[in-house]
Amino acid sequence: MVEQTAEDLVWTEARNKELLKRQRRVAGENIFAGRAIYDQRAIADLPVVRLSVAPEGEVVPQSFAVLEECQWNALPSKKLPMNITWQQSLPGTWDFSFPLSADARCMALGERFSGLDVRGAVHTLCTTDETKHTEFADSLYKAIPFLIVTEGSESYGIFLDSAAVQRWDLDAELDGTARIELFSRRGWQLYVIGPGKLSDVVNAYTQLTGRHSMPPMWSLGHQQCRWSYPDQKTVMDIAGEFRKRKIPCDTIVLDIDYMDEYRVFTASKERFPEFDTLAQKLDAQDFKIVTIVDPGVKRDPKYPLYKEAVAENLACKTPDGEDFTEEVWPGVCVFPDFEKSATRSWWGRWHEFYVKRGIAGIWNDMNEPAFFGLKRVLPEVLTEMPAYEDQPFTQETPEGTVGHLEVRNHYGMLMCRATHEGLNQLRPNTRAFVLTRSGYAGTQKYAAVWLGDNNSWWSHLRMSIPMIMNMGLSGIPFAGVDVGGFTGDCSAELLVRWYETGIFYPFFRNHCRMGDRPQEPWAYGEKVEKLIKRLIETRYRLLPYIYTLFWEHGQTGAPLMRPLSWHYPEDELAWECDDQFLMGRDILVAPIVEREKTRRTAYFPKGRWYPLEGGEPLEGGRVHLIKVPLGTVAAYVREGAILPLADVMQSTRNYATAPVTLTVYGAEARGTLIEDDGRSLEYGQGTYNELMFEYKNGALTSRYLHEGFAAPPRQFFLMAGSRRTPFLLRNSS
Ligand code: GLC
């Protein structure tokens, strides 16, 4: 299924050798002597058991993932659910195991290059700049030690809260056993959630680790990126093309070349001489700007950021106390130690540079952290956390100095936390938009994510579906992949098909690599442009529904893109589908993800499903052969739903006043709409409307479940069957 290069094969061989060596490792005796506290509480009505462990002389490290502590109660028996056993096998190695029955499925576990079921493989959790993305790829950019195990319609969640390197073997030996190796010399916490429904487990997990707040409305529009638009003229031209061609777009994203020799918090005077007013100019055309910010700080004695990092001791250190240096885009760099709260505040304050210039959002990249020289941070054969003095550098945690590998998996998340907090301080009451490549459990509190350097391959379009679903099940709803693929030349057909799926990615951005074929919607001629324009317009029409789904996420932790089994846990076939997904409860999407295909089979759960593009409904509870001509959307709406659909707009600047059509599917239907200002934090104080619509006996009624926002006037329409009639919003109760 996946294109493989000779280099990949050599690499795979090396990896297999490593695996063989690893398999010979036996757990040995339990040497644990320290403190282990078992306690419990209910979250989202599910039992949650917590085990907090600290080796002798150590404390349990502060968690950067879990929200404020609540009351936990002692667990009478020292037994973990799911028959989980654990022991310390070496001073730097912990072993866990639990049985997996033949029917158990494994999901979530963050960013895995895998189908929805991640069972049957070994998964290393060590944040990595993995550029290959073949099916042999192991660690990727994010490391999220949260797994959901489901049997029948019952699920458990297992969250091993440690930012140290971990290896999860999910029955790779086919002996019905899952084994986790945690390579750490420090303490950790393990949470076991459930049993319960899949949706309840995610609800509880996201209560524990936090949820994404309401995103700024503009960030849900189409974002256009390129490594790189080389100068301000090109940026203005790209923006102009969108408006001239009437292709909706909200954001132009600036990659590394806007900077002065890749120094973060600077702009190139040659290529962007008017960087100070660029955002203002684009704002006049209803565009926002997002700029990339990498963690590497150029080693340059004249560069204020570098001078401060050194003078104030804010960078990561080698074991002998020197500033650790490595090469990245700017050349030799130092790396902020985001474990330190002083570093986070300092980094946050520097964002004044962007805020003052009207930059709307920040894109944190290379924050695994990635290095050009030191490609492999792990020892070749990993059986134990190396001694701190044998690690490339150390970091200052709240508990003291540790080797980097103990906290590596936090690095990206703590960077985007610093960014998020900085933006909130500098622009209080404005929703921060941060995008990150690396992340750990709880990253959803600070950032949206994209899944890194994919290829312009059909297999990567296909994989984006289970991968984004697993991100959502791991608590991170605001996710997407580069539409069209980052590496390689995208074909016209692939780009159109990619947009057919991409308009449903919560984070929706077209991005591609330097030197590859340009991928803007108009880059392939008129016919393709027309198809893509219509698809992007569909995204904008769906915005009221998508925005309301973010609200739902805030209430229940539900991801936007979710597996069919989320709503149909009793339906065995629903569990099998991972090249289709639900967008919220009401839209089922079964896109074409193969070349030269215009038909595919798709499974529809019980009920009736109406094609979003119009036409006769399909009877659910069975597989259908559906026709999907190039440029059409393979989306179906659940009978009983009312979708709020906006009129097409060129950017979300016009969202608040765009007419909304309440589109009714079936003879009896219900729908919800959230309205607020789309940019401030005031919804948190009740400044929002929650509207409920009900269609019955040929009439639509509306009701405010919450009315706290004076919405600017907009027209509402009712669409039932093929008739669109004006609808007057009022409280019918
Ligand atoms: C990394 C990012 C990619 C970006 C490039 C240059 O490869 O993943 O999105 O374009 O760096 O900054």
Q: What are the residue ranges of helices labelled H in 351-457?
A: 352-356, 404-407, 411-426
Q: 521 alpha carbon to ligand 1 midpoint, in Å?
A: 20
CA 376 to centroid of chain Cα atoms: 24
Rounded to an integer, what distance in angstroms lies between the CA atom of residue 73 and that of residue 67? 17
Residue with tokens 């991005």: 511
Evaluate whether 536 touches 500 at the Cβ level (below 8 Å).
no
Torsion angles phi and psi, residue 75, rounded to 5 = -90, 125
Contact status, residue 456 vs residue 482, Cβ threshold 8 Å:
no
> Which stretches of the chain score pLDDT less than 70?
1-24, 731-733
Please state the separation of Cα 383 from the chain's center in Å.
Answer: 30
Q: Which atom of ligand 1 is nearest to the CA of 255?
A: 12
Task: Identify whether 368 is a catalytic site residue.
Answer: yes
CA of 394 to the centre of ligand 1 (A): 26
Active site residue 365: yes
Q: Is 328 exposed, middle or buried (0-12, 13-18, 19+ CB in 10 A)?
A: buried
Shortest-distance atom of ligand 1 to CA 228: 10
- CA-nearest residue, atom 5 of ligand 1: 227
Judge contact between 556 and 203, C-beta under 8 A: yes
Q: Is 230 exposed, middle or buried (0-12, 13-18, 19+ CB in 10 A)?
A: middle
Q: Tell how strand 93-99 and strand 85-90 pair up.
A: antiparallel
The answer to whether 249 touches 510, Cβ cutoff 8 Å, is no
pLDDT of residue 312: 98
Query: Distance of CA 182 to CAs 84, 141, 162, 167, 470, Å?
Result: 14, 18, 8, 7, 22
For residue 453, report the distance from its CA to the centre of ligand 1, in Å: 7
Q: How far apart are CA 573 and CA 586, in angstroms?
A: 18
Q: What is the 3-state secondary structure (H, E, C) of 593-655?
A: CCCCCCEEEEEECCCEEEECCCCCCEECCEEEEEECCCCCCCEEEECCEEEEEECCCCCHHHC
Give per-residue pLDDT as tens, 531-556. 999 999 999 999 999 999 999 999 99
Place of tokens 């078992």: 38
CA atoms within 13 A on the CB side of 387: 3
Does residue 296 have its Cβ closer than 6 Å to ligand 1? no
Helix ranges (DSSP H) in 121-260: 198-209, 232-245
CB of 452 closer than 6 A to ligand 1?
A: yes
Whether the CB of 256 sits within 6 Å of ligand 1? yes
Helices (H), 178-218: 198-209
3-class secondary-structure state, position 360: coil
Residue of 117, 181, 257, 368 marked catalytic: 368
- Residues whose CB falls within 8 Å of the CB of residue 373, separated by 6 or more in sequence, listed in order: 326, 327
663 C-beta neighbours (distance < 10 Å), count:
22
Can you give the length of the chain in residues? 733
Reply yes or no on whether 270 is catalytic.
no
Please tell me the predicted confidence (pLDDT) of residue 6. 47
- Angle at which helix 232-245 crosses helix 275-283, to 10 degrees, equals 0
Q: CA 727, CA 711: separation in Å to the nearest integer?
A: 16
Whole-number Å distance, alpha carbon 132 to ligand 1 midpoint, is 13
CA dihedral 535, 537, 541, 543 (to 10 degrees): 90
Rounded to the nearest 10°, the torsion over CA 67, 73, 77, 81 is -30
**Atom number, ligand 1, closest to the C-alpha of residue 513:** 10
Q: How far apart are the CA of 511 and the centre of ligand 1, in A? A: 9
